[in-house]
Structure 1
């Protein structure tokens, strides 16, 4: 797959090099938008084209959860896309729904080929991939909130990289023959208006100044995801450094709420070699956290 040159919003271009056909391949296809495109239904042939030959796309007009569908038949290289997801799941089984046509919701099944000890790095690799794909596709500045929230900034300059535009849920499941694979669920707020956002801390690509087609966003993220996961086995230090460089949590006072009701407060000092957040000298894994919040002075 060949990604087109990144273009500033409005518009996102993605160029492919295979001939157009009803089976989903397309020659010199450029997906470019100059008017709000996100309310148009997703097209299977376009999704297959932008995904490229390494992925098999299954499009559902409406689905409760793409992660649940992918986990039910976890074949590596499969991407389950929902045009409208009605019961998406986030971390700690938090449920959410997006207004039809305003978000990109999908789950990719990956065979990372990693030892068990390195699996905690997969959510970080996915976060780097989503941030990189969005940045290349839309031109917006992106950052990361540990462990795997993707942030973008306000085009008016108020609070750089402070709005959540995408979230990631990674689950480990077994194939029919017992091999472990990763189901990486990704949700991107593409064209939500302020009234449609689920929480005040969320935003959308449209509100960040990027008027972009959902299919192009899918292609950019899948390309970046393939690169990051393939390189994780041999370039983990490079991945960790890029994650640290993009992580807006580091250097700030935070409150980490734990499942037992306790909390850890202090400066977010580092991301260690296992992808854990180090706060006040304590290393905390993503699976051990309910919330990570900025700590207000005097709180």
Structure 2
């Protein structure tokens, strides 16, 4: 893990300037706020791994940001790769004082916060693919531009990692079907502005959720997630654990954050984990 800060003398790509860690600390780290520290590193394997290793010694609200991740991970242990300074790669540490059975809402909360923060700052419509992919439209095609990974850390913590493709060009995309804010015609791709917007949105939503004792309905989180979730109302295919497949219409997200699927036989099944494919829109 290589430390970095505001100067970044080694950077040469004027289209991809380094983040200004000092300015972000001044803007975000306050005695009465959620964020207690913000560290920026030049490169690391995974911000989630690094922050999780220090979870017991750090207070809630620690933020770790990397200009480049060499071993970034998405859901289902998929790789998340990007050129240096072409995206946002950061992890935050939560130690929520809410019932443990409601902790599963944290990655969905992060999705709501990230999509709303980025939409305001970048001027791009984002939607959520259940459970926590960030989608944009590129040439009328739905593409993934970001993802979220939450992991238990230490005795009482959860590390939530967020990765967003910001200025990747078409020939830099890691896989077919990926996207970026640049390709979605964002009005701003300034990463300092985008990161501040996401962290402020995350602080607001997390505060509402904790004050509601983690209740997704009382905090407004469940309704906000449903509003922004493009999976709902779609015919989907879910590849489930145990090599099982489920097809049907995604009709709701229940109180536990599970995707409720209505099958062709008229029954419903709540999916807690799985790889979701949007097959087509429901007429």
Shorter-chain TM-score: what band?
A: 0.7 to 0.9
CA contact (8 A) 1:37 1:212 kept: no
Aligned equivalents of 1:295, 1:44: Cα separation in 2: 42
CA contact (8 A) 1:67 1:107 kept: yes
CA contact (8 A) 1:62 1:85 kept: yes
Aligned equivalents of 2:81, 2:230: Cα separation in 1: 26
Unaligned runs of 5+ in 1: 1-22, 25-35
Q: Once the 2 structures are TM-superposed, how far is the Cα of residue 47 of structure 1 from its aligned partner?
A: 2.8
CA contact (8 A) 2:53 2:153 kept: no
**Equivalent residues, number:** 253
Q: Which residue of 1 aligns with 2:247?
A: 265
Q: Of 4, 17, 22, which residue of structure 2 is paired with 1:45?
A: 22
Unaligned runs of 5+ in 2: 7-12, 263-267
Aligned equivalents of 1:230, 1:62: Cα separation in 2: 30
Q: Which residue of 2 aligns with 1:105?
A: 89
Q: Of 73, 77, 85, which residue of structure 1 is paired with 2:54?
A: 73
CA deviation map 1:180-218 (0-9, x unaligned): 111010001010001111122211111111232111111
Q: Aligned with 1:153: secondary structure?
A: strand
Q: Which residue of 2 aligns with 1:18?
A: none
Aligned equivalents of 1:251, 1:37: Cα separation in 2: 43
CA deviation map 1:216-245 (0-9, x unaligned): 111111111111111114162111011001
Q: Which residue of 1 aligns with 2:238?
A: 256
Length-normalised TM-score, structure 2: 0.84
Q: Which residue of 2 aligns with 1:129?
A: 113
Q: Once the 2 structures are TM-superposed, how far is the Cα of residue 112 of structure 1 from its aligned partner?
A: 2.0
Q: Once the 2 structures are TM-superposed, how far is the Cα of residue 37 of structure 1 from its aligned partner?
A: 6.3
Q: 1:165 to 1:49 in 2, by over 3 A?
A: farther
Aligned equivalents of 1:259, 1:39: Cα separation in 2: 40
2:197 pairs with 1:220: yes
Q: Aligned with 2:257: secondary structure?
A: coil
CA contact (8 A) 1:137 1:220 kept: yes
Length-normalised TM-score, structure 1: 0.80
CA contact (8 A) 1:171 1:182 kept: yes
Correspondence 1:172-191 to 2 at 5 A: 172-174=152-154, 178=155, 180-191=156-167
2:259 pairs with 1:277: yes
CA deviation map 1:239-279 (0-9, x unaligned): 10110011100111111001211101111111111110011
Q: State the Cα RMSD in Å.
A: 1.9
